[in-house]
Structure 1
Amino acid sequence: VTLEETAVVWMDRATFQESLQAIPPMTLNLVRILSARVRLSNELIQALATLDVYGRVARQLLAFAERYGETCANGSTSIPIRLTQGDIADLVGASRKRVNQVMVAFKQQNYIAVNNNGRITVIDRLALAKFCR
């Protein structure tokens, strides 16, 4: 399952290595992608070590809002991807039950809204950001 439209290519090891040697931009792009993944992994490790579940959920919601968000007329940010509480739990290293508790609290405080289709809207980015410190 992917969060956005994705194209997948498969090739054997020898062909892949030949392609890396023959197409330098491909090698550079691969290094950039792997570097970004290492950076994200380091950020996740830091978040797991230093943030409670509220902070980790807030951080993840803000990251999705930043990457995929669409600004609404009222200044809120709609995340056009349907994220289940289980998806968020897997991303932040918490149980679905605990993520549910956090999401309910965020909704009650009017930091986020969730529509009938499961789409999340970030209403108050600054309030969520305070949990990430």
Structure 2
Amino acid sequence: MTFKSITSVMNHGVTKQLDFEDLLRLPADMDPLSCHNRLLSCWQDQQIKNCSNPSLFRAICSAYGWPYVRLGLLKVLNDCIGFAGPLLLNKLIRFLQQGFAANGSGHLDGYVLAMSLGLTSVLK
């Protein structure tokens, strides 16, 4: 993966501070107005087809396609993993503070908590 497309912008930024005019132009299909119009059109189609129960999810899928839906699902998964890390750390600290005898489950729970915490850190 290279960043050859922005080399000219970086070279220009070395000589002077960049302005908005110096930055690369977005492709036409990524222009915010174009994206808004596409989503609005698909939403209106959903309202016409399913006037009693329009689906915003289907409108987004038809407007932007499955790559964005997959990226959204990955973002949700990342957020869940990020949320699980502190919870697992809290359980591990409680496990260590209470001691092995108080837990009654032995060392296995501690190992599982530690491995889960490490795995969430690696996955994130």
When the two structures are superposed, what TM-score results if normalisation uses the length of structure 1?
0.26
* Higher alpha-carbon Rg: 2
More strand by share: 1
Bigger relative contact order (CA 8 A; separation at least 6): 1
When the two structures are superposed, what TM-score results if normalisation uses the length of structure 2?
0.28
